[in-house]
Amino acid sequence: MISQNRRVVVTGIGAVTPLGNNAADTWQNMKRGMNGIAPITHFNTDHFKAKLGAEVRGFDPKKYLEVNEILRTDRYARFAVAAAQQAVEESGVKGTVEPERFAVLFGTGIGGIGTFETEHTRLLEKGPRRVSPLFVPMMIGNMAAGLIAIRHDCRGPAMPAVTACASGSNAIGEAMRLVRHGYADAVITGGAEASIVPIAVAGFSNMKALSVSEDPDAASLPFDKRRGGFVIGEGSAALVLEEYEHAKARGAKIYGEVCGYGSTCDAYHITAPHPDGRGGAQAMTEAMKEAGHTDNDTVYINAHGTGTPMNDAVETIAIKRALGEENAGKAFVSSTKSMTGHMLGAAGAVEAIACLFALNEGVIPPTINLQEQDEKCDLNCVPNTAVKAEITLALSNSLGFGGHNACLAFRKV
């Protein structure tokens, strides 16, 4: 092991989201404020309270997997394999590091819940002999990481991060630490989710977490007085993290540096955040300290911003605690979940990519459908239209059930 504090950069990205089937399309549609939310088509919602979702459209898994592989993988894993393939191809890292120094850390909140539901229905209707022998490997939450490792001959650590809605961010943060502290030279990381299935939508609905609006433009409403819950989304995003000197030596394109990471737990409640935002604030403080934040930084925060009544108000408190009232007021804050819905374990990875693009292009993606900003969410939430700003530090917040908090910090190189 190389025991030194190495710089970690992003050299490849990929995405399959409600806004596009690659990272470039996703970003272009995010900048223009495209709403990826529409009526759910994966199943009949006649008897469901929540009828909207942010589904991936036009995705062809045959571009990435053979037909027999598609039959052996859950939808979440197909998304993961596709996003990872895009990121690895763009980075050009494959073959430049030893397989034993090439790792995978890929998050998911729920894993193969679609497979679980399908096979459980088959068990009840047709008996135990009809349950697929591939049920378990298709369903388990580590399989996206395993499939990516097999495909790209990654013989270093290969594992998931499973911290509910913080999974994608925790995966990237822990991947950064693998490279920084010498356990790997490159890591494929990110998150994937495919939970727009009846059992998940029913469960989230019955805990009153989902918006029941039937208007796509009045459903995912971060920071708005009218907000009444999140809209469930699906998809994946992947990043290739690489040791800086190695990336520079081979002339790789560098999107930015992962320069800070904070990971905490509220230790308070299984679903509700602590009312004073202590865990989220601490995660942000740790990430900013590691990133060398100063009062001279121009900061963009891609907020967790789910559009649930409690989350957005508490996250506002957390941002003020971490940055201080004055700096919090100066920061640009937006929730891209207003466009993508809440992609659960994939959210943090998609939002990390948004931060990297925002740094490189000097454009802050908007919070769409923000018409009546809540006084409890009194930050610069970039309503409805992207704005130009030369930011120097981008932060991505993710908060998950179980009290998990993660914050990633990025800078340009």
Which of the residues are catalytic?
165, 304, 342
Sequence-ordered alpha helix ranges (H) in 239-343: 244-249, 278-290, 309-323, 325-330, 337-340
Q: What residues contact residue 194 under an 8 Å CB cut-off, 6+ apart? A: 74, 75, 76, 78, 79, 112, 113, 114, 234, 235
Sequence-ordered alpha helix ranges (H) in 153-302: 167-180, 198-206, 244-249, 278-290
Judged by DSSP in three states, 160 sits in strand
Of 399, 372, 236, 208, nearest in space to 316 by CA: 399
At what angle are helices 23-31 and 347-361 packed, to 10 degrees? 70
Output the CA torsion sign for 69, 75, 78, 82.
positive
The alpha carbon of residue 232 and the mean position of all alpha carbons in its chain are separated, in whole angstroms, by: 13
Of 173, 176, 203, nearest in space to 187 by CA: 176
